[in-house]
Structure 1
């Protein structure tokens, strides 16, 4: 756990100061909690990498958006120690580096001034009920157990102030008002998409055979790609364009460019060989029709060595 310089919460003055001045910063708040449930497995490590490495936004450069996975997200100025840890999230219209100069240790809403625009949770048995909230449905027995779990205090490794923190879905919907919330179950290859509409999430229908969630305001789609990433075959979440073409990682882009360059060189070599063969065939025809070697050499700009090969 990284904890730097526990900054006290300052009392307000008249005129009041902004939360950015009075509340803890990312330097003061814990960056992780080993006791938190749902610690990532290897999939939870690889999948966010693929999401970040294939993200291409037409309206934002890489220097003006921020992506993160399993990073503490502090969201409530009234309870500055409360946080959630999304499996992956995107914030647009913020500098890639904190204040344009440093890697983030956490994401603190009152310091940044921008909420995430997309949040993605990778479902696991221990976190599914909280990730889905009211959209979680199972058998009656499981529902009862989930309700008991949901009503239990949610620990974030810190002493709580007054009341228990809200659920993850509630934070994304009511506190942060994140426009796009998606969840993915890799075991069932099920992608679910919730869009903020009128202050509440409404689940969007997806094509069951080709589930792609289209985010029109960002001009990008998210679907399930069957392939190999970092030498691991599986069904992965991956960004795509409006035609359904999967967007490439940086490595794939480099490999594609190298393949295109090799192909261009091969085509150039083949074209030269074909042109040379045509010239030599023309020389054969002229020699067969009685033209002397000197004339053929001069006419076709051939060397004596090339004529000798005929």
Structure 2
């Protein structure tokens, strides 16, 4: 599948984009993860979705994963720190998907995220010529509807929405400092606390009613507290019955 994307008068660029699955022998760029925070942040986002029953078979949710397109006859691969695709074509049995080509293998990603490191600002790059920056690739070539940029140390969260299939527009958070991600039916916001031996700021999901989607350890603790509260209520009831001269064991 091939399409020509006309750009703004400012750049006067035209991108001819071909959506072709990469050949099996294509060598993907071997870019290292910037720091240990990035995989932890990505895994935490997926964990909450998985436990909430959000993830369905057709979906693709991945981290540090190559998104591909052939632009002006040159293969371009960018790896966001987190990506959500609502529906993809099934992989062959036993195959591990090494990368993803939108339109050729399924839908365009609905959400991409980048977690900024101390030293790398390339996620913001709007460079419109080869080699393209991530911003330009997501905005103008892939046309991803939502681009999230998060700086974990400063807690700055920016959510950009593609406006009229042309340019990203910064979204304003609600009164709770959360942003509605329509394609997921969830709010995204910043939470401070400890997980996986890391204390700091995290991205978290909330449902439309404002309920936080819990991680596994939080669910275990919630169940423990519920069991403890039930035991305490039972103890108070037995104590009351005894105070009234009633043997609860004889009831």
TM-score by length of 1: 0.63
Task: Compute the displacement of 1:164 (Å).
Answer: 2.4
Change (3 A) 1:167 1:246: same
Alignment match, 2:102:
109
Q: Distance in 2 between matches of 1:256 and 1:58?
A: 14
Equivalent position SS for 1:44: helix
Stretch deviating more after TM superposition (182-191 or 48-57) = 48-57
Structure 2 counterpart of 1:93: 87
CA distance in structure 1 between the aligned counterparts of 2:200 and 2:94, rounded to whole angstroms: 37
The CA deviation at 1:47 is: 0.9
Q: How do residues 137-286 of structure 1 correspond to structure 2 at under 5 angstroms?
A: 164-199=130-165, 200-206=167-173, 210-275=176-241, 277-278=242-243, 281=245
Tell me, yes or no, if the aligned pair for 1:180 and 1:196 is still in contact at 8 Å: yes
CA contact (8 A) 1:72 1:83 kept: yes
Distance (whole Å) between structure 2 residues aligned to residue 79 and residue 269 of structure 1: 74
Query: Corresponding residue for 1:30?
Result: 27
Q: Distance in 2 between matches of 1:240 and 1:259?
A: 21
Instruction: Pick one of 127, 132, 142 that aligns with 2:124.
Output: 132
What residue ranges of structure 1 are gaps of 5+ in the alignment?
Answer: 1-17, 135-149, 152-162, 284-299, 304-310
Which is greater in Rg? 1
- Looking at structure 1, the residues matched to 117 and 249 of structure 2 have their Cα atoms a distance apart, in angstroms, of 73
CA RMSD of aligned residues (A): 3.4
Contact 1:90–1:117 (Cα < 8 Å) also in 2: yes
Measured in 2, the distance between the counterparts of 1:245 and 1:282 equals 42
Aligned to 1:41: 35
Relative to structure 1, is the Cα distance of residues 112 and 258 closer, same or farther in structure 2, using a 3 angstrom cutoff? farther
2:113·2:148 contact (CA, 8 Å) conserved in 1?
Answer: yes
- Which structure has the highest strand share of the two? 2
Whose helix proportion is higher, 1 or 2? Answer: 1
* 3-state SS of 1:62 partner: coil
How far is the alpha carbon of 1:126 from its aligned partner? 4.2
Cα deviation 1:243-293 (Å, max 9, x = unaligned): 443211133223322332343244334434433x156x158xxxxxxxxxx
Instruction: Note closer, same or farther for the CA distance 1:28–1:264 as it changes in structure 2 (3 Å cut).
Output: farther
* Alignment CA distance shift 1:222-1:126 (3 Å): same
Q: In the alignment, what sits opposite 1:120?
A: 113
Q: Is the 8 A contact 2:115 2:151 kept in 1?
A: yes
**Post-superposition offset of 1:178:** 0.9
Partner residue in 1 for 2:12: none
Q: Is the 8 A contact 2:84 2:110 kept in 1?
A: yes
Tell me if structure 2 keeps the 8 A contact 1:75–1:110: no
Name the structure 2 match of 1:13: none
**2:66 aligned with 1:69:** no
* Separation in structure 2 between the aligned mates of residue 203 and residue 117 of structure 1, nearest angstrom: 16
Runs of at least 5 residues in structure 2 that lack an aligned partner in the other structure:
1-17
Determine helix, strand or coil for the equivalent of 1:178. Answer: coil
Structure 1 distance, partners of 2:140, 2:172, is 22
Alpha-carbon distance change, 86 to 226 in structure 1, aligned in 2, over 3 angstroms:
same
